[in-house]
Amino acid sequence: MSDAKISVTFEQDHDRLDALFTSFQEQKRRDFAKATEAFLAFKFGLQRHIVWEEEILFPKWEENSGMAEGGPTQVMRTEHRLIGDCLKAIHRNVQAGNPDSDKDEQQLLALLKSHNMKEERILYPSIDQVISDEERAAMYQAMKEIPEERYRACCGSEDP
Ligand SMILES: [Fe+2]
Ligand SMILES: [Fe+2]
């Protein structure tokens, strides 16, 4: 990957995922096949993002800051489970060819908005502060090495 700061890389990924979800919402009542494609890219990307955070970013921050139990990463992990539940509910509708998942979509957007804001304003800058350049490079390398299958089994959803 690059030697960009963690905050830059992860904010960019949030923005990329937001754009995919918007594309799903815009297309779903016009071209369901296209909307499905956008949704699946969003789902896979979000699961990958969460695996990167939970398996690489958060443990590193917990190790370097000495804050694990009851800290912000614990809150973020709990929110990931709620995000995963919404994702699953929308996915069920997408699989059934049903575009009427507006309520779950609103809930997911609300969850992601506050979750991403907390990460972008507090957690990511704090991670950048507690890691060295070498540690950051090792984290990007570790992100690359996680096998794809891990992203598909995230958020309690076993479906491909
Ligand atoms: Fe997160
Ligand atoms: Fe994030």
Give pLDDT tens digits for 85-121. Answer: 999 999 999 999 999 999 999 999 999 999 999 999 9
* Residue 144 covered by a domain: yes
What's 17's domain CATH number? 1.20.120
| Ligand number nearest to the C-alpha of 120 | 2
Query: What SS3 class is residue 37?
Result: helix
What tokens appear for 151 in the block? 């992203």
| Ligand number nearest to the C-alpha of 111 | 1
Q: State in Å: Cα 14 to ligand 2 middle.
A: 6
Q: Does residue 152 surpass a pLDDT of 90?
A: no
Angle at 151 between CA 17 and CA 7, to 5 degrees: 45
Smallest CA-to-CA distance from 12 within 52, 40, 62 is with 52
Q: State in Å: Cα 30 to ligand 1 middle.
A: 31
pTM of the predicted structure, to 2 decimals: 0.93
Domain count, the chain: 1
Q: State in Å: Cα 91 to ligand 2 middle.
A: 20
Query: What SS3 class is residue 160?
Result: coil
* Residue 143 covered by a domain: yes
* Residue 15 covered by a domain: yes
| Ligand number nearest to the C-alpha of 7 | 2
| Ligand number nearest to the C-alpha of 77 | 1
How many Å apart are CA 138 and CA 85, to the nearest integer?
A: 31
Position 150 scores a pLDDT of: 85
* Residue 159 covered by a domain: no
Q: State in Å: Cα 35 to ligand 2 middle.
A: 23
* Residue 160 covered by a domain: no
| Ligand number nearest to the C-alpha of 15 | 2
* pLDDT single digits (tens) 31-78: 999 999 999 999 999 999 999 999 999 999 999 999 888 889 999 999
Q: State in Å: Cα 50 to ligand 1 middle.
A: 6
* Residue 157 covered by a domain: no
* Residue 63 covered by a domain: yes
Range of the domain at 23: 6-152
* Residue 158 covered by a domain: no
